[in-house]
Amino acid sequence: MTIHIGAAKDDIAPTVLMPGDPYRAKWAAETFLDDARCINQVRGMLGFTGTWHGHPVTIQGSGMGMPSLSIYANELIRDYDAQTLIRIGSCGGMQDHVGIRDVILAMTATTLSTPSRGIFKDLNFAPCADFGLLAAAHHAALAKGTTTHVGGIYSSDVFYDERADLNDQMMRHGILAVEMEAAELYILAARYKRRALAVLTVSDHLITHEALPAEDRERSFGDMVEIALQAAFA
């Protein structure tokens, strides 16, 4: 048990999927895991552990933004010895060829700042995904026939961003989408020598201003969860 996770040590699996929304964690656990049980309710940040094709899996909400994810990822790694951490979440498309409901596999995560920025001082550390997970996720996505893009994303530290000029530069340099957590997850994985990946579903678009209706989001997020699980155990 830690400050933010009320689970016993044996309640957390070596493989952890991390949606931002705790209720998405509940939905994913009930939909994809066998014998899922709630193992964390501290501060309403729900976590569940069950099995997928016989493999133990934990799905733990991380909250919104890198400071919140950093708390949960640190405790999962340091106190529960999690080995594989995969973010599953939504993102905003930033390229014309990226469509609503497409899946994005984040090879790298550009950011202005993360909770880890202070330790790097003047170094611009380049956080990236685990290649084995990335390759396995890409293979799984192709096998499913899911429209998938692999490349760089932007992990923003604000939701209501008023830097249109910065978004323009992200788009100019080929950034596929924006979200708020992956860069810190990748940094922590590098620090502690763990595997990490972000598998994201495009839920809205910064260019076309399209957005998935709330009632369509869970159905559209199913491919993302399946791809993440297949990648974890490839």
Output helix, strand, coil percentages for the chain, rounded to the nearest 5.
Answer: 35, 30, 35
Confirm whether residue 99 is marked as ligand binding. Answer: no
Confirm whether residue 50 is marked as ligand binding. Answer: no
Confirm whether residue 20 is marked as ligand binding. Answer: yes
Confirm whether residue 87 is marked as ligand binding. Answer: yes
* Residue 48 DSSP code: E
Confirm whether residue 184 is marked as ligand binding. Answer: no
Confirm whether residue 163 is marked as ligand binding. Answer: no
Rounded to whole angstroms, how far apart are CA atoms 218 and 229? 16
Please report where in the chains the tokens 């040590």 appear, as a residue: 9
**C-alpha angle with apex 60: 56 to 62, nearest 5 degrees?**
150
Confirm whether residue 89 is marked as ligand binding. Answer: yes
Confirm whether residue 24 is marked as ligand binding. Answer: yes
Confirm whether residue 4 is marked as ligand binding. Answer: yes
Q: Which amino acid is at 40?
A: N
**Helical residues (DSSP H) of the chain, grouped into ranges:** 22-32, 66-78, 117-120, 131-144, 164-172, 182-192, 214-232
Q: Which of 79, 157, 161, 204 is catalytic?
A: 204
- Inter-residue contact 1 to 11 (CB < 8 Å): no
Q: Could you tell me which residues are beta bridge partners of residue 179?
A: 155
Confirm whether residue 68 is marked as ligand binding. Answer: no
Quick check: is 122 catalytic? Answer: no
Residue 180, both tokens: 């708020």
Q: Could you tell me which residues are beta bridge partners of residue 52?
A: 55
Confirm whether residue 139 is marked as ligand binding. Answer: no
Rounded to whole angstroms, how far apart are CA atoms 84 and 44? 23
Closest C-alpha among 138, 116, 136 to residue 127: 116
Give catalytic residues, as residue numbers: 204
Q: Could you tell me which residues are annotated as the binding site?
A: 4, 20, 24, 43, 87-90, 179-181, 203-204
Q: Could you tell me which residues are annotated as the binding site for phosphate?
A: 20, 24, 43, 87-90
Q: Could you tell me which residues are annotated as the binding site for a purine D-ribonucleoside?
A: 4, 179-181, 203-204
